[in-house]
Amino acid sequence: MAAIRLVCLAIVLVLGVGHALDFSKAKDVPVLVKTLKNLNRGPPQQVVTKRANVQEKWITQKLDNFDDSNTETYQMRYLINDEFQTDGSPIFIYLGGEWTIEQSMVSAGHWYDMAQEHKGVLVYTEHRYYGESIPTTTMSTENLQYLHVKQALADVAHFITTLKSENAQLANSKVVLAGGSYSATMVVWFKRLYPDLVVGGWASSAPLLAKVDFTEYKEVVGRAFLELGGQQCYNRIQNGIAELESLFANKRGAEARAMLRLCNSFDDQNDLDLWSLFGSISNVFSGIAQYQSGNDINDYCDYLLSFRDDATAIANLVYWAWGVPSCIDATYASTVEYYLWGVENFDAGRPWYYQTCNEYGWYQSSGSRNQPFGTKFPATLYTTLCGDVFNSRYGNEYISNNVAQTNVDFGGMEPGVENVYMTHGALDPWNPMGHGVAEGATLIANASHCSDFGSIRSTDSAEMRASKEKLAELMREWLA
């Protein structure tokens, strides 16, 4: 039994790592970048049971939607599935976020099922600067000035008006939006800025409040391990990380370095290196919690508890999660170097990191005492990285002002929108930045991040099913 579990776990880990390695053929990816990428990948792909005729198309967009004197343009990609299209079909747009768009989201799942019910046209728009919708020749900080959610929302508005004006069958169609994670945030903010263009929206796991030091995130990660994995597992994580911290603090760094298989370049006297290491370790657990389903957490906990001591268990889990390299590169310098390499080598890591520095923060720090991942990854790690990777003007004050401005622009927890259905997993670490039950959102027990896009199915919990049915009912009202 244990052997079977371990084989399954190995498959899960290898698949996870394989995903990260897709981006990295040409370059080693430092573990901090690797874990951050894993946390910002797109929503889970849907299981496609029948081949849909998804077409890839392109639309010309303005490089700067807010400067009439700038006539430069770029090509934005979108996917369209018009198998149900007829006169007046509603348009079901799934918004892309900080990832590459893919076909399954317009060929299967609950969004697809609702489109089928209403004879809708399914569209998946790609966000500027991600996937193949790249507006500039490099991702220099200068060029990234055109990367902003306001620009991306204006792209969507222009997309909707163009699609309707160029297609007689859709001239008077109603439009509904869906999104997950950051693109769910975009659904809410689109409804705020362009209320007349869409009749309704579905925002799954939408963070609404921008915040530099996002201390709550790791609390929920810890809670997921406690509630789904048990107290022993939680203690193992807490004690193992505390033990590693204390080895470094008590001149026993060499032991910790060997245990963690760190590369020689790691400097345990350098705070930024230590912070990068402990941030990366905690992010392995974040990834597991953010994407958990079924018995995942239990299996990981069984693995952790199969070792004789706490620190060895942590070291082995993270080594495995990072793809068993010859040595672990957790230095701050290689993280900086990797993001600078991204100026010329397009890679989703750099533009999203830029958006965090410029608009949101959302740095998942060790600032809360109410979590098991120790004390060694303050938000300062991430804000320092902003300055070193983009421009020295990205200091603490500048980032804080940007983040405050985002909340002024979009209303933070009070976006003031109607007809947007918000869902969250109760164990999704992002949920503290979004609406709770009191504000009208639906919290789905035990669920994680963006976990409700699948079709209604027998394995859904009662709450999951009820939420999907409620959305389908709202959709009937919006499209009536």
The footprint of ligand NAG (CB under 6 A) covers 228, 445-446, 461
- Which residue, 295 or 455, has its beta carbon nearer to ligand NAG? 295
Quickly list DSSP for 74-91: EEEEEEEE-TT--TT--E
CB of 214 to ligand NAG, least distance (A): 25
CB of 285 to ligand NAG, least distance (A): 17
- Which residue, 8 or 445, has its beta carbon nearer to ligand NAG? 445
- Which residue, 298 or 391, has its beta carbon nearer to ligand NAG? 298
- Which residue, 405 or 461, has its beta carbon nearer to ligand NAG? 461
- Which residue, 274 or 464, has its beta carbon nearer to ligand NAG? 464
Q: Would you give the DSSP letter of residue 443?
A: E
- Which residue, 312 or 446, has its beta carbon nearer to ligand NAG? 446
CB of 331 to ligand NAG, least distance (A): 38
Tokens standing for residue 258: 């060997």
Place of tokens 């007689």: 168
Q: Is 263 left (phi over 0), alpha (psi -120 to 50) or beta?
A: beta
Backbone phi, psi, residue 442, to 5°: -105, 125
Cα–Cα nearest to 174, from 110, 108, 119: 119
Distances, alpha carbon 396 to alpha carbons 250, 358, 401, in Å? 31, 11, 9
CB of 156 to ligand NAG, least distance (A): 35
CB of 444 to ligand NAG, least distance (A): 9
CB of 421 to ligand NAG, least distance (A): 20
Contact 205, 416 (CB under 8 A): no
Helix (H) or strand (E) holding 444: strand 442-444
- Which residue, 52 or 228, has its beta carbon nearer to ligand NAG? 228
Q: Is 230 left (phi over 0), alpha (psi -120 to 50) or beta?
A: left
Beta strand pairing call for 211-213 and 121-125: unpaired
Please give the Cα distance from 38 to 283 (Å, whole number). 9
CB of 228 to ligand NAG, least distance (A): 5
